[in-house]
Amino acid sequence: MRTFKNLLVTGGAGFIGSNMIRYLLTGPSGFAGRIINLDLLTYAGNPESLADIAEQYGKGTNPRYVFVQGDICDRALVERIFKDYEIDGVIHFAAESHVDRSILGPEAFVRTNVMGTFALLDVARTAWAGRYSPHHGSASADNSPVLFHHISTDEVYGSLGETGYFTETTPYDPRSPYSASKAGSDHLVMAYCHTYGLPVTLTNCSNNYGPYQFPEKLIPLMIMNMNEGKPLPVYGDGKNIRDWLYVEDHNSAVWLVMQKGRVGEKYNIGGENEWQNIELLQELINIVAEETGKPADSLRALITYVKDRPGHDRRYAIDCTKLKTELGWKQSVSFSEGLRRTVRWYLTNPTWVEHVRSGSYRDWIEKNYEKR
Ligand code: NAD
Ligand code: TDX
């Protein structure tokens, strides 16, 4: 089993990354080392999501957690971090992540997702020289003392019809600027392993939901709009299908792959939990009605069909047999339980929502990081 002393987590102020850091430092992971969180703090990154972790030791400092505000494309900065903190593992979450934004402005997606991943890989290749075998297929790779783990998405596989599943061997067929940029990053990761022998693992996960997700994504957007009596915008006919997974289950899978996965392999992660958007919304309405006391009929009246997303993928569904049989992973949070937890979290954390919407958490950064 691989262990790590100093993990570089990129994008750790975002939705999945912040949940991962909390899982590693306070959850059941068994991780005993230190985390260096490199995040640019774009609109989607919010250090307030980890305020409790940063201040766990009472004086605003936690010896197991270091936050660095910076860009993964900044090669000199990444080199310094590798050297100063003796990085032996990378979990690469940082990305532009919203499909609708990629349609309106694809450039940032190519820059961060492709060029940023390239910069990280290339620094890892040189910083770790001598710590891994440059020969592809080395039998010792699985015991490598260093590892680059790349976080990716099921969207790289394209769109499914009514039947079938994405497996690890499904050919890539990305169809949005977001998924194309993620596919490009996946190819670079595998190429660095194949060509230079860089020890990598890669996971492709289905749609995540849970606390700290930026309220532009379907589930938190709908919860907040219901709470505020705003329209619930359903794209197209509402029958597009996604496979939903609670964020903690994604992160337990990632950690398992990092510890025990085979180097050079990719693993699919999924909820085995397919929902048409409109059916999911009906389910969410029932839960919000129960939690707030608002009549479900008044919430249903807010449903508004709007113009479809251009190139909207019809169906995603993950086959995660490899992860389950090879590493023994399984989902632990049912959809009804996960949705209820998520609804309660958004209803009881209005300040977090208000701050990410207004960007006012930047004042919090000024206040809390003024001495750096
Ligand atoms: P997010 O948008 O919530 O967070 C992304 C984080 O990356 C933010 O904190 C942002 O500030 C940071 N970032 C962006 N550009 C950066 C740069 N140039 N340098 C440093 N930091 C930068 O995203 P998320 O939903 O948490 O997704 C995290 C990863 O998981 C992404 O790689 C995404 O493709 C992947 N993924 C997401 C889902 C999902 O459902 N959300 C599913 C599968 C895979
Ligand atoms: O207002 C909305 N109305 C609506 O009908 C929004 C925001 C979305 N939708 C639909 C589009 C999708 O079919 O809901 C579905 C989910 O949409 P998003 O939350 O935008 O997620 P998706 O496009 O599926 O991508 C997500 O999952 C895969 C993440 O944003 C990606 O980062 C991840 O890779």
Mutate which of 206, 207, 214, 244 to test ligand 2's pocket (most atoms within 8 Å of Cβ)?
207
Cα of 70 from ligand 2 centre, angstroms: 27
Residue 53 lies in a domain: yes
pLDDT of residue 372: 39
Distance CA 320, CA 205 (A): 9
Is 305 contained in some domain?
no
Ligand showing the shortest atom-to-Cα distance for residue 91: 1
Q: Which pLDDT belongs to residue 229?
A: 97
Annotation says 154 is catalytic: yes
Phi, psi of 324 (to 5 degrees): -70, -45
Distance 71 CA to ligand 1 centre (A): 13
Q: What is the DSSP string of 262-299?
A: PTT-EEEE--S-EEEHHHHHHHHHHHHHHHH---HHHH
Confidence (pLDDT) at 368: 65
Closest ligand 1 atom to the C-alpha of 42? 11
Three-state SS at 318: strand
Question: Closest Cα to atom 12, ligand 1: which residue?
Answer: 11
Report ipTM for this prediction. 0.99
Task: Say which DSSP state 63 is in.
Answer: T
Ligand nearest to the backbone CA of 15: 1
190 within domain boundaries: yes
Q: Does residue 320 lie within any of the structural domains?
A: yes
Active-site entry in 154, 243, 248, 274? 154
**248 in active site:** no
The per-residue pLDDT for 371 is 42
- Tell me which H or E stretch contains 6: strand 6-10
**pLDDT at site 58:** 59
In a domain, 226, yes or no: no
Domains of the chain: total: 1
pLDDT at residue 360 in the model: 73
> Which of 181, 175, 179, 177 is closest to 114 using CA atoms?
181
Q: Give yes or no for residue 144 CB within 6 A of ligand 2.
A: no
Task: Clarify whether 178 is annotated catalytic.
Answer: yes
d(CA 88, CA 230): 47
Q: Domain residues for 189?
A: 6-208+247-272+312-332+359-365
Residues 256-298 have pLDDT tens digits of 999 999 999 999 999 999 999 999 999 999 999 999 999 999 9
DSSP state of 172: P
Evaluated on CA atoms 339, 340, 341, 347, the torsion sign reads positive
Mutual orientation of helices 277-292 and 335-348 as an angle, nearest 10°?
Answer: 50
207 lines ligand 2 (CB under 6 A): yes
Question: Is residue 251 in a domain?
Answer: yes
Q: What is the CATH number of the domain that holds 323?
A: 3.40.50.720
Q: How much is the pLDDT for 116?
A: 98
Q: Which atom of ligand 1 is nearest to the CA of 38?
A: 20
Q: Which residue do the tokens 């032996």 mark?
A: 88
Place of tokens 């849970």: 210
pLDDT tens for the chain, residues 1 to 372: 999 999 999 999 999 999 999 999 999 999 999 999 999 999 999 999 999 888 766 556 788 999 999 999 999 999 999 999 999 999 999 999 999 999 999 999 999 999 999 999 999 999 999 999 887 666 677 889 999 999 999 999 999 999 999 999 999 999 999 999 999 999 999 999 999 999 999 999 999 999 999 999 999 999 999 999 999 999 999 999 999 999 999 999 999 999 999 999 999 999 999 999 999 999 999 999 999 999 999 999 999 999 999 999 999 999 999 999 999 999 999 999 999 999 999 999 999 999 998 877 667 666 666 443
